[in-house]
């Protein structure tokens, strides 16, 4: 179970926050967890249910690492897809003048997601709600 959970969280980190910096020569300058941010306790889902199904051929067989590690690692791509759909929904809701089809690279860091959502559009929307509420209060 731990290997499945760990592989999924590793995949989430890969798709969302494992951005590494390069110097002018193209060499990676992140050389450890001080500068290279891996998934942490706040990245892990609060509720994460995992169940392994026994093999029908041999009930005593231990699943190999490929069988228990690689599938959940690749399942983390679903997080990237969900983020893309959330960005598309934000663009629709805030009526951003942005196309609903867009390029989102891996990793899609929080800064990337905010930019793709059109954070300035969100801020203007919140200001319009505040202004509308203030106008309604003045009229009342």
DSSP-assigned states of every residue in the chain: -HHHHHHHHHHHHHHHT----B-TTS-B---STTTS----TTTS-SS----PPPPSS-TTPPPPHHHHHHHHHHHTHHHHHHHHHHHHHHHHHTT-SS-SS----SS--HHHHHHHHTHHHHHHHHHHHHHHHHHHHHH-
**Tens-place pLDDT, residues 2-58:** 788 888 888 888 898 877 778 899 888 876 666 666 777 777 778 888 887 766 566
The maximal CA–CA distance of the chain, rounded, in angstroms, is: 75
Residue whose entry in the numeric block shows the structure tokens 């003045």: 138
- Quick one: pLDDT at residue 59? 60
Query: How far, in Å, CA of 46 to CA of 52, rounded?
Result: 19
Is residue 6 within 8 Å of 71, Cβ to Cβ?
no
- Quick one: pLDDT at residue 137? 81
Which has more pLDDT, 62 or 134? 134
CA angle 15, 37, 27 (to 5 degrees): 90
Which has more pLDDT, 118 or 106? 106
Percent of the chain scoring above 90 in pLDDT: 17
């Amino acid at each position: 179970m731990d290997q499945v959970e760990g592989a999924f969280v590793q995949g989430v980190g890969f798709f969302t926050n494992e951005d590494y910096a390069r110097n002018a020569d193209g060499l990676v300058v992140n050389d450890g967890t001080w500068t290279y941010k891996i998934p942490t306790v706040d990245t892990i889902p609060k509720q994460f249910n995992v169940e392994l199904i026994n093999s029908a051929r041999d009930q005593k067989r231990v699943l190999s690492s490929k069988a228990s590690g690689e599938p959940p690692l690749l399942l983390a791509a679903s997080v990237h897809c969900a983020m893309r759909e959330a960005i598309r929904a934000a663009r629709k809701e805030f009526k951003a003048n942005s196309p609903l089809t867009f390029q989102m690279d891996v990793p899609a860091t929080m800064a990337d997601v905010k930019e793709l959502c059109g954070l300035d559009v969100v801020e203007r929307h919140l200001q319009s709600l505040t202004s509308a509420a203030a106008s309604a209060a003045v009229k009342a």
